[in-house]
Amino acid sequence: MPKIVAARVIVTCPGRNFVTLKIECDDGTTGLGDATLNGRELAVAAYLTEHVVPCLIGRDAHRIEDIWQYLYKGAYWRRGPVTMTAIAAVDMALWDIKGKLAGLAVYQLLGGACREGAIVYGHANGTTIEETIEAAREYQRQGYRAIRLQCGVPGMASTYGVSKDKDFYEPADSDLPTENVWSTAKYLRVVPELFAAAREALGWDVHLLHDIHHRLTPIEAGRLGKDLEPYRPFWLEDATPAENQAAFRLIRQHTTAPLAVGEVFNSIWDAKTLIEEQLIDYIRATVVHAGGITHLRRIAALADLYQVRTGCHGATDLSPVSMAAALHFDLSVPNFGIQEYMRHTPETDAVFPHAYTFADGMMHPGDAPGLGVDIDEALAAGYEYKRAFLPVNRLEDGTLWSW
Ligand code: GCO
Ligand code: MG
């Protein structure tokens, strides 16, 4: 058996913070897992170092499911983003090790490819509708078949998804949380205009997506869905906060716009009602924040029973290790829908050399044994952790709102 002899947490900041777990076996085989939880990185690093690593030493690295159960049930305190991100990191690293030992890419271990590649969507954004459409045109030129559209809201200084840098979006922008101001009324006016202009300019052969980022009430989301229906959105994401899964019943009663939710979910229990009542069309739970490949497969299997497809979160705060794990998952699950892809900066790509590739709007994890991602530790050591918070949102009267 490949015995785990060491495990270490590596924190690095090549432009943004990443937490990586590296597990090592007695034969020298190593595996990597992403443990990055944006804005709360060191909580997961400490959870791993203090409470998980000591329990891994001496175990058989092949026993992925048993180790998963041990860390989940054994903690007594179940679920939560910190715990589930830590478990995910271990799970990814163990799949990486299993693949390397078998000489197979992880998607082969998961049952093999169900498709030639995973369709991905890119992020077009701009301060104005015109700028957003120009950015979308650029994505089309690069071969993207699906594009998320976010634009500035007239009368509001800033909003989610609109970036200063055209190519890279980083919302965790400050040593203490930045305060943004939000107006639902202003926002609800601009999005239908954006989609109307986008269909006019880009045509109908491209999938158009939009992220509401948890800011509407259910009835407001129903209204927006109705307004956007003529433009055939691929999905509306995170229409309303989803702690109350039943809230999506109300949205469903009012619109046929497809709904996606779940980037902040950390277990199957967060999505159970949404899936079983077919209140959503895409589940966005992701490898790193929802307990790793092992748990995400369980969520996908439940979703498959109800014709809900996957649409994994893939923002830049998910490291290339997560991106690779997501692509192995995407290639192998029958009910894959789409994969989010926000490119990492060249600094990040240099720290994490990887086998995955992009061509014609599709991605492939590559055929390197394991996940196909490495970490250049010497390079990583040169980038010191820098505290960075996600922003908070307030209504115009000062009331704290969802960001
Ligand atoms: C997305 C997400 C991200 C999150 C970010 C928070 O759809 O990609 O909403 O942009 O805001 O991952 O850390
Ligand atoms: Mg989102």
Q: What would the two tokens of residue 166 be?
A: 């055209």
Q: Is 341 exposed, middle or buried (0-12, 13-18, 19+ CB in 10 A)?
A: buried
213 is catalytic: yes
Residue 375 domain flag? no
- Among 104, 137, 170, the domain boundary falls at 104
Looking at the CA of residue 316, tell me the nearest atom of ligand 1.
12
pLDDT in tens, 267-308: 999 999 999 999 999 999 999 999 999 999 999 999 999 999
Do 336 and 291 share a structural domain? yes
Q: Among 47, 121, 144, 160, which one carries the catalytic annotation?
A: 160
Residue 395 domain flag? no
Q: Are 98 and 68 in contact (CB under 8 A)?
A: no
pLDDT at 88: 99
Residue 399 domain flag? no
- Collapsing DSSP states into helix, strand and coil, what is residue 387? coil
Looking at the CA of residue 38, tell me the nearest atom of ligand 1.
13
Do 178 and 148 share a structural domain? yes
Proximal ligand: closest to the CA of 161 = 1
| H helix or E strand, kind and range, residue 108 | helix 106-109
Do 137 and 69 share a structural domain? no
Do 76 and 8 share a structural domain? yes
Proximal ligand: closest to the CA of 169 = 1
Radius of gyration of the chain, Cα coordinates, nearest whole angstrom: 20
Pocket probe mutation, ligand 1, options 263, 317, 341, 402, max atoms within 8 Å of Cβ: 263
- Among 104, 120, 138, the domain boundary falls at 104
Do 229 and 245 share a structural domain? yes
The sheet with strand 179-182 has its strands ordered as 179-182, 392-395, 400-401
With b for 16 or more beta-carbon neighbours within 10 A and e for fewer, the 170-191 pattern comes to bbbeeeebbebbbbeeebbebb
Do 130 and 96 share a structural domain? no
pLDDT at 158: 87
Spans of the chain below 70 pLDDT: 166
pTM to 2 decimals?
0.97
The strand ranges marked E within 284-382 are: 309-312, 336-340, 357-359, 362-364
Residue 392 domain flag? no
pLDDT at 115: 98
* Paired residues of 180 in beta bridges: 393
The Cα 230–Cα 33 span in angstroms is 42
- Average of per-residue pLDDT values in the chain: 97
Looking at the CA of residue 342, tell me the nearest atom of ligand 1.
8
Interval between CA 315 and ligand 1 midpoint (Å): 6
Do 348 and 298 share a structural domain? yes
Q: Is 60 exposed, middle or buried (0-12, 13-18, 19+ CB in 10 A)?
A: middle
Do 186 and 73 share a structural domain? no
* Paired residues of 312 in beta bridges: 339
Integer CA distances (angstroms), 224 to 78, 87, 123, 391, in order: 36, 37, 20, 24
The domain tally of the chain equals 2
Phi, psi for residue 302 in degrees, rounded to 5: -65, -45
Pocket of ligand 1 (CB under 6 A): 38, 171, 211, 213, 263, 313, 315, 317, 340, 390
Q: Is 153 exposed, middle or buried (0-12, 13-18, 19+ CB in 10 A)?
A: buried
Q: Are 323 and 356 in contact (CB under 8 A)?
A: yes
Integer CA distances (angstroms), 46 to 8, 35, 40, 75, 83, in order: 11, 11, 11, 15, 11
pLDDT at 167: 74
pLDDT at 170: 86
- Among 51, 86, 104, the domain boundary falls at 104
Q: What is the span of the domain harbouring residue 346? A: 109-370
Do 173 and 64 share a structural domain? no
pLDDT at 163: 83
Q: What is the CATH number of the domain that holds 89?
A: 3.30.390.10
Q: How far is CA 261 from the centre of its chain?
A: 11
SS3 content of the chain, % helix, strand, coil (to 5): 40, 20, 40
210 is catalytic: no
Do 21 and 159 share a structural domain? no
Do 240 and 137 share a structural domain? yes
Q: What is the CATH number of the domain that holds 195?
A: 3.20.20.120
pLDDT at 187: 98
